[in-house]
Amino acid sequence: MIIVTTNDLPGYRVTQVKGLARGITVRSRSIVGNIGGAIQSIFGGNISVYTNLAEQARQEALSLLTSDAQKMGANAIIAMRYDANEIMDGITEVLAYGTAVVVEAN
């Protein structure tokens, strides 16, 4: 699966547009993560507990996006984007979306 954030794919031509594909995950911070994050924030710098949680959520959303596009019969995703929203305190939705397409090499 080819995934790009651009609207086109140099060296390929789009032969079919399958439609919008998406992957969504909803994550919450654990009590242990909150304590670890609070301790790390005292010292400043990167709060690795939250960085790791954010990366895991993005990776899961991307995996679900890829799966959705494959079910549609696509072999590429163009104009891929991430979006994240806090649903409530400590609970975040991460969405990965893009246009599922079939491409062929030029």
Range in 16-20, 36-40, 84-88 with the lowest mean pLDDT: 36-40
Segments forming the whole domain that contains residue 35: 2-105
Domain count, the chain: 1
Quote the CA–CA distance of 4 and 76 in Å, as a whole number: 8
For 63-102, how does the pLDDT look when each residue is reduced to its tens digit (9 = 90+)? 999 999 999 999 999 999 999 999 988 788 999 999 999 9
Share of the chain above pLDDT 90, in %: 68
Give the DSSP letter of residue 82: E
CATH, residue 11:
3.30.110.70
